[in-house]
Structure 1
Amino acid sequence: MKRRDFIHLSGMGLGALVTPGLLMMGNPVSAEQLLEPGIDVAAKKVLADTALNAARAKGATYTDVRIGRYLRQNVFTRDKNVQNISNGETFGVGIRVIANGTWGFSSTSDVTPDGIKLCAETAVAIAKANSKLQNEPVELAPEPGHGEVTWNTPIKKKALEIPVKEKIDLLLKANNAAIDNGAAFVNSSLFMINEQKYFASTDGSYIDQDIHRIWPTFSVTAVNKESGGFRTRQALSAPMGMGYEYMDGLAADKIMNPAGFNSYRNSYDIVEDATDAAKQAKEKISAKSVIPGKYDLVLDPDHLGLTIHESVGHPLELDRVLGYEANYAGTSFATLDKWKSGDFKYGSDKVNIVADKTQPFTLGNTGYDDEGVKTKEWDLIKNGVLVNYQAIRDQVSILGEKESHGCCFADNWSSVQFQRMPNVSLRPGTEKLSPAEMIKNVEKGIYILGRGSYSIDQQRYNFQFGGQLFYEIKNGEIVGMLEDVAYQSNTQEFWNSCSQICDKDDYRFFGSFFDGKGQPSQSSAVSHGSSTTRFDGVNVINTGRNI
């Protein structure tokens, strides 16, 4: 990554979201090279069989092969100028085996029969070396062979096929709209990813998948010329598992929120959002600073998604519960004894949270995971009670289950696959309720949109979250903008304060392209769905920033 790209990302406040998944662009290529088809499925099958046979000959009892071509294009602009365009491709093979009851993994960019044979033999040698330290053999949940199947992200426009000039023109149009409405500075970016993944295993699966993701974003800054102070507003877009049709900004996909401007569902109007952002960044400069105390919070999905991610998604990763992730962002308060009790109240009766990699348009949407398991939906929290975790083939036996949850993932062919967060989403309310109707019943509250700074402890329990936009609610009405807002709580107290959830008509997605986990670190893409949700009596602090 070039220095100016890093500065741009830092200016957008991505912070901890900047992980190797973003930095590792692969080999620089032209935009035209991104459109080349790569090797066909028949050739991939021949190469995969080479690996399977070579590993079996060396004593492997199980083998899976991932042949991956990962394509990325990032476009960066600032004000009226293009900052950078990055095109990257990485192509290779990752081979995972079990030999002597132990995992071994090796990868190579030498995608030839000889290169793959050597890679498979190396994986087996590593497994046998590891087995000297293995106390118990790996126990894999059974998975039927799926034969030769394909799965593609259901897109209408391949983002990488759209001319770069068209993308630049759209970003600069958004920048100009922000500047025309009072912004002093504006950065905008467009991230596009295409993963062409082929999986084969000794279970009898040959799975070819073509996965697409897109993320438009920006940061608008307004400056108080008299004091020199400033405020920013980030984009309210969500990264999505879609093609370039996400940028169409269809009127049917816009939802007027109670603050009087549009939120977005399955398409995004970046020019409209940048226009609103400039006006709101200026308004934030003179907004009233919040008075600390207890407030009822009305949280927009674009904000609540991050809270779901940190306080539900991560603590219910089984490997984190077991302590495997202790060195990277901690363990989990949601220990197995709480699950085994069968009555641990994670949240109020309103709270129903599911894991689901089948939701259309989401970042986690795939047909099969990187162990060849068909993806599905399952309950994590039901009527407020903790009922399950996220687990893969060599973990589910710990839970007494016989089928993987289908949430094993690697961020590249060169990375070993391991348990990763699927889409973790709050089910909408069952009774008809709009955000405006919800606010009518709030006497003293704050309506929060967008993600801001946050922190959470090593057990994913005590936390603090900020946001992008804050509106004061008095006696059922929004009365003006607030600033310097953050709320503090612990996971169980917070989710038990959930009192209302809007219905499915308000359901939208939040997402992250760059969820980091593991050592060496990997990034993955994940979405979190919800409707606008109310939490009662939450402690709000003043963050003390001064203009």
Structure 2
Amino acid sequence: MKRRNFVQLAGMGAGAVMMPSLLMGNNIPTEALLEPGMDILMKKQMADVALNTAKSLGASYADARIGRYLNQFVRTREDKVQGVVNTESFGIGVRVIANGTWGFASTNDVSPDGIKKATEQAVAIAKANSKFQTEPVVLAPEASYGEVSWKTPIKKDFKEVPVSEKVDLLLTANAAAQSSGANFVNSALFMVNEQKYFASTEGSYIDQDVHRIWPTFGVTAVGGGKFKTRQAMSAPMGMGYEYLDGLASEKLEGPEGLKLYRGSYDMVEDATTAAKQAREMLTAKSVDAGKYDLVLEPNHLGLTIHESVGHPTELDRVLGYEANYAGTSFATIDKWKSKNFKYGSDLVNIVADKTQVGSLGAVGWDDEGVKTKKWDIIRNGVLVNYQAIRDQVKMIDQNESHGCCYAQSWNDVQFQRMPNISLEPGKEPYSINDMIKDVEKGIYIAGRGSYSIDQQRYNFQFGGTMYYEIKDGKIAGMLNDVAYQSNTQEFWNSCAKICDKDDYRLFGSFFDGKGQPSQVSAVSHGSSTSRFNDINVINTGRTV
């Protein structure tokens, strides 16, 4: 990526700095997005070249992933279109076990000779590595599924929606924000289609068509020598373009007119509200540091779940294999083996789920051909499991993969990635308004902000987008300069109340980074608004 393009994209927010993932592949004209993918019979023939070659060279196991990755990125600022980018990437990755050791190679030469050459390289790498391998790779058993398929249940394919319609939506949202008090606004649409085919020597031939979408914006108001920015309250979703049909959205009213969305998203309405709230932030009072009960809405809490539960329960991070990228984990094996490590209060039930409809992580099978499922990570506050794949589960005395293996492209080797990690809603009827009424001294926090967490995912600090003071059960006005500090165990054990399923919503990350060489993946985190008692809040001291 050229420096000028990076600087432009970085203005879209923290997630956008991971744009190499989205722009991966060759630039193509918009109409090329509509070209049909390869015939499934041809994919099977290509995969069989790799599998048969691997077996003939002595591999005990092999899988092949054929991927066509289509991406579109539309970006605007105020009344101008900043760019429309379409990319396509196509190729095959081959992974083998030979002499008890992994080997991987990939190629965009999908001729029989090209595939054969890549497979030979993968086997040669495995055999070379086996000289240094002390224990052979052991895979958990997995069924042979034959020829099967899965598709994100979309109603409207983004590729079939004219670019002009997408541009009109963004510019309309920009204009709505400006007419409501914004001085500056930028907006973007990220859209992804992964067409993936998996085959293995165990007899599975799996064709999947995965869709994701993320509308976002940043609205800035200027006044009194200061500026304040309010980001979109949207969440990236595993949906089609119907996500932007705002009329179908379930709109939940937050405090002080804050619009919350579930089902679909009204970008123009959110941009209008954002401009008014950004202007209100200019005169909001600065928070007094101290202990508060925090009422955290799902778009905010999702990031805290991601960093303090999602990452520390990745088994490779727990075992120290992931130490170079953002550290290891405090949630060590001895804590899990004790069967009584209180990760959180009795109310805290956190599940991993690769099947959740509408989520970013939803697929039918993972990238090593394991049928996806849902499982417990924390039950009644106790750490009960991790996230693990076929060659890891034996390390925790299990014999079934959790189905959370993923690679960002055909050109990358698949490895353990975070599934959707979500906090279950409360079982009794309980709304946001009920929760606020029960708080004497607190702060309601909405949206994502800056954060910091240590190398063991234990001590942390989180900010948000908007903050409202709660006094004696009522909203007492907007606040500035809020961040809260805690450690993971202390924080989750302070969880005192969770709203019911009617408030449950998804937060998501398009660009969760991990590994070396680094890869990104998309993951969602669901929750209902939750209360955490007696949390330390600091004043960040920002005045602009």
Q: Decide: shared fold, TM above 0.5.
A: yes
Using the TM superposition, name which of 112-121 and 444-453 deviates more.
112-121
The Cα shift of 1:13 comes to 2.9
Kindly indicate whether the alpha-carbon contact (under 8 Å) linking 2:75 and 2:187 is maintained by their aligned counterparts in 1. yes
Kindly indicate whether the alpha-carbon contact (under 8 Å) linking 1:21 and 1:522 is maintained by their aligned counterparts in 2. no
Q: Specify the alignment match of 2:306 in structure 1.
A: 309
Kindly indicate whether the alpha-carbon contact (under 8 Å) linking 2:22 and 2:71 is maintained by their aligned counterparts in 1. no
Q: Specify the alignment match of 2:18 in structure 1.
A: 19
CA distance in 1 between counterparts of 2:388 and 2:363 reads 17
1:106-185 alignment to 2 at 5 Å?
A: 106-185=105-184
Q: Specify the alignment match of 1:68 in structure 2.
A: 67
In the superposition, relative to structure 1, how do residues 242 and 252 fare at CA in structure 2: closer, same or farther (>3 Å)? closer
| Partner amino acid, structure 1, of 2:29 | S
SS at match of 1:308: helix
Kindly indicate whether the alpha-carbon contact (under 8 Å) linking 1:345 and 1:385 is maintained by their aligned counterparts in 2. yes
Kindly indicate whether the alpha-carbon contact (under 8 Å) linking 1:20 and 1:521 is maintained by their aligned counterparts in 2. no
The Cα shift of 1:5 comes to 4.3
CA distance in 2 between counterparts of 1:57 and 1:430 reads 56
Kindly indicate whether the alpha-carbon contact (under 8 Å) linking 1:12 and 1:234 is maintained by their aligned counterparts in 2. no
CA distance in 1 between counterparts of 2:391 and 2:23 reads 28
1:155-179 deviations in whole A, cap 9, x for unaligned?
Answer: 0000111000000000000000000
| Partner amino acid, structure 2, of 1:336 | I
Q: Specify the alignment match of 1:30 in structure 2.
A: 29
Q: 2:286 aligned with 1:259, yes or no?
A: no
CA distance in 2 between counterparts of 1:273 and 1:2 reads 32
| Partner amino acid, structure 1, of 2:163 | V
SS at match of 2:345: coil
Q: Specify the alignment match of 1:526 in structure 2.
A: 523
| Partner amino acid, structure 1, of 2:18 | T
CA distance in 1 between counterparts of 2:100 and 2:56 reads 16
Kindly indicate whether the alpha-carbon contact (under 8 Å) linking 2:485 and 2:535 is maintained by their aligned counterparts in 1. yes
| Partner amino acid, structure 2, of 1:302 | N
Q: Specify the alignment match of 2:471 in structure 1.
A: 474
TM-score, normalised to structure 1's length? 0.98
Q: Specify the alignment match of 1:271 in structure 2.
A: 268
| Partner amino acid, structure 2, of 1:73 | Q
Q: Specify the alignment match of 2:226 in structure 1.
A: 229
The Cα shift of 1:19 comes to 2.6
SS at match of 1:39: coil
In the superposition, relative to structure 1, how do residues 71 and 6 fare at CA in structure 2: closer, same or farther (>3 Å)? same
CA distance in 1 between counterparts of 2:312 and 2:130 reads 30
Kindly indicate whether the alpha-carbon contact (under 8 Å) linking 1:510 and 1:528 is maintained by their aligned counterparts in 2. yes
Kindly indicate whether the alpha-carbon contact (under 8 Å) linking 2:63 and 2:198 is maintained by their aligned counterparts in 1. yes
Unaligned ranges ≥5, structure 1: none
1:261-285 deviations in whole A, cap 9, x for unaligned?
Answer: 3100120000000000000000001
Count, aligned residues? 544
Q: Specify the alignment match of 2:323 in structure 1.
A: 326
Task: Indicate which of 432, 435, 439 corresponds to 1:435.
Answer: 432
CA distance in 2 between counterparts of 1:261 and 1:330 reads 36
SS at match of 2:448: strand
SS at match of 1:32: helix
The Cα shift of 1:2 comes to 5.3
1:485-496 alignment to 2 at 5 Å?
A: 485-496=482-493
Q: Specify the alignment match of 1:456 in structure 2.
A: 453
The Cα shift of 1:121 comes to 1.0
Kindly indicate whether the alpha-carbon contact (under 8 Å) linking 1:311 and 1:460 is maintained by their aligned counterparts in 2. yes
Q: 2:494 aligned with 1:497, yes or no?
A: yes
CA distance in 1 between counterparts of 2:192 and 2:248 reads 26
In the superposition, relative to structure 1, how do residues 251 and 159 fare at CA in structure 2: closer, same or farther (>3 Å)? closer
SS at match of 1:451: coil
The Cα shift of 1:6 comes to 2.6
CA distance in 2 between counterparts of 1:285 and 1:507 reads 31
CA distance in 2 between counterparts of 1:513 and 1:252 reads 21
TM-score, normalised to structure 2's length? 0.99
Structure 1 vs Structure 2 CA RMSD:
1.0
Kindly indicate whether the alpha-carbon contact (under 8 Å) linking 2:249 and 2:266 is maintained by their aligned counterparts in 1. no
CA distance in 1 between counterparts of 2:176 and 2:8 reads 19
SS at match of 2:30: coil
Kindly indicate whether the alpha-carbon contact (under 8 Å) linking 2:248 and 2:263 is maintained by their aligned counterparts in 1. no
| Partner amino acid, structure 2, of 1:487 | Y
The Cα shift of 1:228 comes to 2.6
Using the TM superposition, name which of 242-251 and 466-475 deviates more.
242-251
Q: Specify the alignment match of 2:241 in structure 1.
A: 244
CA distance in 1 between counterparts of 2:3 and 2:165 reads 25
| Partner amino acid, structure 2, of 1:333 | F
Kindly indicate whether the alpha-carbon contact (under 8 Å) linking 2:249 and 2:263 is maintained by their aligned counterparts in 1. no
1:82-102 deviations in whole A, cap 9, x for unaligned?
Answer: 001110000000000000000
In the superposition, relative to structure 1, how do residues 251 and 112 fare at CA in structure 2: closer, same or farther (>3 Å)? closer
1:331-365 deviations in whole A, cap 9, x for unaligned?
Answer: 00000000000000000000000000000000000
The Cα shift of 1:260 comes to 2.1
CA distance in 1 between counterparts of 2:258 and 2:484 reads 24
Q: Specify the alignment match of 2:99 in structure 1.
A: 100
Give the share of equivalent positions with the same residue, in percent. 72
Kindly indicate whether the alpha-carbon contact (under 8 Å) linking 2:292 and 2:534 is maintained by their aligned counterparts in 1. yes
CA distance in 2 between counterparts of 1:508 and 1:9 reads 27
The Cα shift of 1:4 comes to 5.2
SS at match of 1:196: strand
CA distance in 2 between counterparts of 1:438 and 1:412 reads 43
SS at match of 1:194: strand
Kindly indicate whether the alpha-carbon contact (under 8 Å) linking 1:487 and 1:539 is maintained by their aligned counterparts in 2. yes
CA distance in 1 between counterparts of 2:382 and 2:307 reads 18
| Partner amino acid, structure 1, of 2:221 | A
CA distance in 2 between counterparts of 1:10 and 1:318 reads 32
The Cα shift of 1:74 comes to 0.1
SS at match of 2:131: helix
CA distance in 2 between counterparts of 1:435 and 1:375 reads 33
Q: Specify the alignment match of 2:9 in structure 1.
A: 9
CA distance in 2 between counterparts of 1:97 and 1:531 reads 42
1:210-225 alignment to 2 at 5 Å?
A: 210-224=209-223
1:40-94 deviations in whole A, cap 9, x for unaligned?
Answer: 1000001101110001001100000000000000000000000011100000000
Q: Specify the alignment match of 1:292 in structure 2.
A: 289
| Partner amino acid, structure 1, of 2:389 | I
Task: Indicate which of 385, 402, 405 corresponds to 1:405.
Answer: 402
CA distance in 1 between counterparts of 2:287 and 2:248 reads 34
CA distance in 2 between counterparts of 1:6 and 1:281 reads 26
CA distance in 2 between counterparts of 1:368 and 1:492 reads 33
| Partner amino acid, structure 1, of 2:341 | F
